[in-house]
Amino acid sequence: MKKYYALLLTFALLTGCDSNDGPAEKAGEKVDETIEQVQEKTEDAVDDVKDATEDAVDSAKAATEDAMDKAKELKDDAADAIDDAKKKAEDAVEEAEEAVDDTENGGDQ
């Protein structure tokens, strides 16, 4: 009979310990839930920062490409303006030389 009571007592103790309904267990579960929520929010925040960083990099790349295109366009426009000015200067020199020749030829006649 002693063995029966010992077995019954052991079963009762094990069943009581397995219920997980004590205040310490509830507090532990609450701590675990809080940690999981913090981890999820941290992961979400990291993902948001990554996305924002990628967007910023993409915007910077696009702005850089636009600036490079505009700089090339301005360089080409400047080169064209220089070529036009050079042509006009050459034409003016040629006209001046012709005027000098005409003056010299007209003065000798």
Average pLDDT of span 38-51: 97
Measured CA to CA, the distance from residue 48 to residue 80 in angstroms comes to 48
Q: Which tokens is 12 given? A: 């009762």
pLDDT tens-digit map of 4-16? 556 666 666 555 5
- Would you state the pLDDT for residue 22? 83
| Burial group, residue 58, by CB count within 10 angstroms (0-12, 13-18, 19+) | exposed
pLDDT tens-digit map of 46-57? 999 999 999 999
- Would you state the pLDDT for residue 23? 87
Q: Which tokens is 100 given? A: 């000098």
Q: Of residues 18 and 45, which shows the higher confidence score?
A: 45
End-to-end CA distance of the chain: 156
Q: With a cut of 70, say whether residue 100 has pLDDT above it.
A: yes
pLDDT tens-digit map of 48-87? 999 999 999 999 999 999 999 999 999 999 999 999 999 9
pTM above 0.85, yes or no: no
- Would you state the pLDDT for residue 105? 81
